[in-house]
Amino acid sequence: MKWSRHILIFAMIGALVLGTQYSFAVPSLVISTSKHVYEYGDLLSINVQVSELVSNSITIHITDSSNKTSAPINLPIYKLNNTITSPFPFYKTTFNPGTYRIDAKYSNSTASVSFDLIDTGKIVIPIEFKSLVKTLEQGSPTDKMYAGVIRELINNNILNVPNYNPTNQTYVPQWFKNNVKWWSNDSISDNEFGMSIEYLIQKGIIQV
């Protein structure tokens, strides 16, 4: 009877210890990015790996080179290994070149990863400009309307036109408006379209 009592006590102690260990256990968390170096036009892709599912979302903060940190971003995860890709690419209008750090938290686990964003000179035009052009084309767009879009691209440093000075006179050739339509329909890349605008302005063929 004494031995039975001792065995029962040891079993209860063992169960208590194991239960305590599991109650304090936290899932492991590992995050990585698809690239160490991104350029404008790339999509940020984050891989998240956890050892067990205890929640259906992970919280991240993104900090730039000036130590400015984003608001919390909650990303859904439904399995142990998840790849999450941004719906929008890196644009000059929203991200400066430099080193960025991603801090992630899942349950009580944390992890970090860094990546660099560089400016290779490739022209990437934010999608809202393409949407604006499509809206203009539904009506009867004038040279001034096209000129306004082009000025915005220059003023936002998306296009680089050395020694550019705005003019009161505007002129956009009719044949170039066909190029605008092709670009809005994704038949011409941002880089090709942007470089053609830069060249035509410098040669005085387009006046804006």
To the nearest whole number, what is the mean pLDDT of the chain?
Answer: 89
Do 47 and 83 form a contact (C-beta atoms < 8 A)? yes
For the segment(s) 26-118, the CATH number from 2.60.40.420, 2.60.40.1930, 3.40.50.720, 3.40.640.10 is: 2.60.40.1930
> Contact, 135 vs 127, CB < 8 A?
no
Strands 109-118 and 37-39: parallel
Structure confidence at residue 23 (pLDDT): 43
Reading the block at residue 178, the tokens are 């066909």
Position 25 scores a pLDDT of 63
Which DSSP symbol is given to 122? -
> What are the tokens at 153?
């691209």
Q: Any residues with CB less than 8 A from the CB of 34 and at least 6 apart, and which?
A: 44, 45, 46, 47, 83
Q: What is the pLDDT of residues 134-189, one digit of tens each?
A: 998 888 899 999 999 999 999 999 999 998 988 888 999 999 999 999 999 999 99
User: Letter for the amino acid at 131?
Assistant: S
Query: Which pLDDT tens digits describe the chain residue by residue (208 residues)?
Result: 444 443 333 333 344 344 444 445 679 999 999 999 999 999 999 999 999 999 999 999 999 999 999 999 999 999 999 999 999 999 999 999 999 999 999 999 999 999 999 999 999 999 999 999 999 888 889 999 999 999 999 999 999 999 898 888 899 999 999 999 999 999 999 999 999 999 999 999 999 9
Query: Which segments of the chain belong to CATH 2.60.40.1930?
Result: 26-118
